[in-house]
Structure 1
Amino acid sequence: MNLTDEQLDRYARHIVLRDVGGRGQKKLLGAKVLIVGAGGLGSPMLLYLAAAGIGTLGVIDDDAVDLSNLQRQIAHETTDINQAKVISAQASIERLNPDINVIPYQTRLNADNAQGILADYDLIADGTDNFETRFLLNDICFFMRKPLVSGAMLQFDGQISTFKAYEDGNNPCYRCVFPVPPPPEIAQTCGEAGVLGALAGVIGSIQAIEIIKEILNIGDSLSGRLLLYDALSTEFRKIKVSRDPACALCGAEPTILRIPGP
């Protein structure tokens, strides 16, 4: 594939980077990334990945734009209120970069549809706000051998990691770090506990960077590391995390033995 004159101009700042170049930009244009969630984390991921030239972006979300979303969900505008988030996000991406093929899925990801949707993508990004979907994505990505770039945030704190436990005997999966979902009574959402709007931009943008790094195979992966950000103290901490030998999914004697689904 040859880059057009317009693409050479659009992606010029990537192309001059030694670790990207024309060859790397072609990889980005050929990549297929699925963003699960078109909200606070999904919005900056989608916009920056579209700007970067990720050729195919899938976005899945069953929600509609609400006025309370606009404090952090920058892919949507006031005129999008009551519209499906995936349709609003698609329009924002297409205005930003018509190069991009956007595939919207106006549905909730679940065990029945996840395998069929994920099969078409090279890499999956978790921008959800519930533990049920996070664990489902982790398990399916493990069995389907797909990198999972995961982000989460609440109030003034955020975290990011990349999970590739299928790759070797040392990389952990999400369950190695968080073995079981917390009880519903303590698993607060952003709607219940609040979240600083701009925090979504920080965490989602780092997720976008990690996705690009994984596609280009450059830099140090966050696999095996958990990056924590405290917005109030403006501190980043990186914690090493190892595979749990007793993990139900990727441990020595797993009890989860197949892809979740019907």
Structure 2
Amino acid sequence: MHAAGRADAEVLAPLCFHVYSPFNADPGDRRVCVAHLNELTKNSVTSGLTKRQTILVADDHPVFRRGLVQILEEQFPRARLIEAGNGSEALIAVHEHKPTIAILDVDMPKRNGLEVAAEIRRRGLSIAVVILTMHDNEEFFNRAMDIGVMGYLLKDSVVSEITSCLQTVSAGRHYYTPSLGEYWVRRDQNKQQQKSIQVGLSALTPTERNILKLIAGNKTTREIAEDLFISPKTVENHRSNIAGKLGLRGNNAVLRFALENKSRL
């Protein structure tokens, strides 16, 4: 997954508030937001996409949506821009206009951005979905990644991040706001851990796996021995083999593993 740096963040940061935080402000501040767009885009580097794109922008705040569309028109003059004000309109636009990129706000009425993204994936459409949100939240991030979105941007992103994101996802690669890097690292570590667990479980014999299930059910060694008509010593030998195959150490490691992975057994 790719994350661009914020090389021009110091230049654009004073203006970013006006573009990306208008909805916590009063109407006067919203007008300032639109007035600063030309100055903002003038300070950024215009870069084209690799081919002509149709970009859907779905957000229920018209001022923000129009501001973002204006930025995209400036940055990608060859692109075709489509707007939607809620999730239902977004899906209609997907059907009618067949966008190549869809920028979706999470908090939309009539189906939120994650629901729209999930529906796009369910239909098997070749659309690079980018989530644009105020939520700096690991749960939202992971839900979006699980759905299969290609990009995840926060609404305080500078113009260069938006352009980098669209260029990256249009090339078939992932992009996330750089400040969310730790989320991706933890997600990757968790995926590797889950893969390792699955490999370990596949190495267990049917008897060992059955014993692990009984351990997950809080059965004692004596109870397991009685259930399986074997000696407690044999149960302990199986526990030792299970620990070795799963790389577990410590007196309660097998019990802890069994409880944490009960649904896998």
Structure 2 length-normalised TM: 0.36
Whichever of the two has the greater Rg, that structure is 2
Larger RCO: Structure 1 or Structure 2 (Cα < 8 Å, ≥ 6 residues apart)? 1
- Greater helix share, 1 or 2? 2
